[in-house]
Amino acid sequence: MLNDFKSSVLTHSDFERAVGEVLLSIVEKLPATDAAGKTYSVSKIKKLINVDGNNEQILAALNYLSTSRIDLFKHSWFLMSEEYSIELDESDFAEVMARNAIAHPETGLMIHDAKKHVFLSFTRVAGFE
């Protein structure tokens, strides 16, 4: 039991260290002159920083950079397909996650398998030096 605990602490510690490295890479490699309003996906950030971090590490770093303390990014959820791109508020996102369906806000038609069409993006809201 103690070995399992030590192993989980080590893994958690390794994860935090990896997230810290990703954080530094994002801050160092994100262009300082990049205009506020530019939107990034997790995969775009992964290409930008060219780090072997997994998506969980990158997402954890981006979430931290989206906190009110740092306020470098604002995160948004979108429902996207070839026909539409709809920004979801918190209640719409919760509905999609709970029911896997949502009514299109303009047409009223039900969008089924909606979870497949949900994407997370991060928009720059501030600059840094």
Q: Across the chain, where does the E strand assignment appear?
A: 39-40, 73-80, 85-88, 101-103, 110-112, 118-124
Q: What is the Cα–Cα distance from 22 to 61, expressed in whole angstroms?
A: 6
Instruction: Confirm if 59 and 46 have CB atoms less than 8 A apart.
Output: no
Instruction: Confirm if 61 and 26 have CB atoms less than 8 A apart.
Output: yes
pTM to 2 decimals?
A: 0.74
Q: In what order do the strands lie in the sheet with 39-40?
A: 39-40, 118-124, 73-80, 85-88
Low-confidence ranges of the chain (pLDDT < 50): 1-10
How confident is the model at residue 112, as a pLDDT? 93
Mean predicted lDDT score pLDDT of the chain: 82
How confident is the model at residue 12, as a pLDDT? 60
How confident is the model at residue 8, as a pLDDT? 44
Q: What is the Cα–Cα distance from 81 to 113, expressed in whole angstroms?
A: 12
How confident is the model at residue 6, as a pLDDT? 38
